Amino acid sequence: MTDRSHYTRRRIVQLSSAAAAVGLAGCSSASTSGGESDSESTGSSDGEDHSGEDDGHDEGGDEQSDDGGHDDGGHDDGDGHGGVGEPTPTAAVDMITTDDGGTHFAPHVARVETGGTVTWTLESGSHNAAAYHPDNDQPQLVPDGAEAWDSGMLSEHGATFEHTFETEGVYHYYCTPHEGVGMIGSVIVGEPDAHGQPALEEPPADKPQAVREKIVELNEMCNEALGHGHD
């Protein structure tokens, strides 16, 4: 038990240090932190061993190799982690349950132009795609003024849902039954400034650890796509 709680606590330390690093990496947004970017260790507090934790990118690497674990044959899961690319008029996202029960959106980060449309297609399992939006009883992880969406549950192979994005910015969304196991994805619309995107802030404190970790991972991918977050 002691070991276990130590483990949990250590994950929390890692997560907040990763989040802090993401926040610090070139992003002196609005307030604070600007002056302290050289002393990241202040952010990670209380003397646990965080050698190698202070850059936050190691974390991302970990999560990604985890994901590689449920690569299913026919599907090019590599897309899920590849470069996000430039905005295009349309983008396609598959909703997948793998043979070993893993679930995900592929690619994890889709990108369209402002006014562009994303189409979700059910490949396997039963899933939905819903915005982190107050209208869905969720914290706001979409741009200010953006519309909410919820596809409703799709359970027939090949079923699709589309949403047109009129507001530029970064959006996170989730699958209701699988959010807790990290079935969360992102849509980047247009060429937003990473500063001031609610989605890219530290993940909501009241979300379970697995959800927070996934959001941190997505934020790194989004920041990278926006040329923001790596030196």
Q: Of the two residues 200 and 215, which places its CB atom closer to Cu ion in the complex?
A: 215
In the bound state with Cu ion, the residue whose beta carbon lies nearer, of 175 and 216, is: 175
What is the DSSP track for 17-53? HHHHHHHHSS---SSTTGGGTT-GGGTT-S----TTT
**Residue 184 binding Cu ion, by CB under 5 A:** no
CB of 6 to Cu ion, least distance (A): 32
How many chain residues touch Cu ion (CB under 5 A)?
5
User: How many CB atoms are located within 10 Å of the residue 10 CB?
Assistant: 14
183: contact with Cu ion by CB under 5 A: yes
Per-residue x/- marks for Cu ion, 47-86, CB under 5 A?
A: ----------------------------------------
CA distance 133 to 178: 17
Least spacing, CB of residue 122 vs Cu ion, in Å: 9
Amino acid identity, position 188? I
Which one, 178 or 212, has the nearer CB to Cu ion? 178
Q: Which of residues 203-222 bind Cu ion (CB under 5 A)?
A: none
For residue 141, the number of C-alpha atoms closer than 13 Å in the C-beta half-sphere is 31
> Do 103 and 176 contact (CB within 8 A), yes or no?
no
Per-residue string for binding with Cu ion, 84-103, x by CB under 5 A?
Answer: -------------------x
Sign, Cα dihedral of 194, 151, 160, 217? positive
For residue 178, the tally of other CB atoms under 10 A from its CB is 20
Quickly list DSSP for 62-106: HHHHHHHTT--TTS-THHHHS---S-EEEEEEEEEE-TTS-EEEE
Q: Which stretch binds Cu ion (CB under 5 A): 3-11, 135-143, 168-176, 211-219?
A: 168-176
Cβ 163 to Cu ion shortest distance, Å: 17
Judged by CB under 5 A, which of 25, 118, 170, 175 binds Cu ion?
Answer: 175
Q: Binding residue for Cu ion (CB under 5 A) from 178, 207, 212, 214?
A: 178
**Is the CB of 16 or the CB of 103 nearer to Cu ion?**
103
Task: Give me the least distance between CB of 178 and Cu ion, in Å please.
Answer: 3
Answer whether 149's CB lies under 8 Å from 101's CB. Answer: no
Site for Cu ion (CB under 5 A): which residue of 81, 111, 127, 207?
127
Residues that bind Cu ion (CB under 5 A): 103, 127, 175, 178, 183
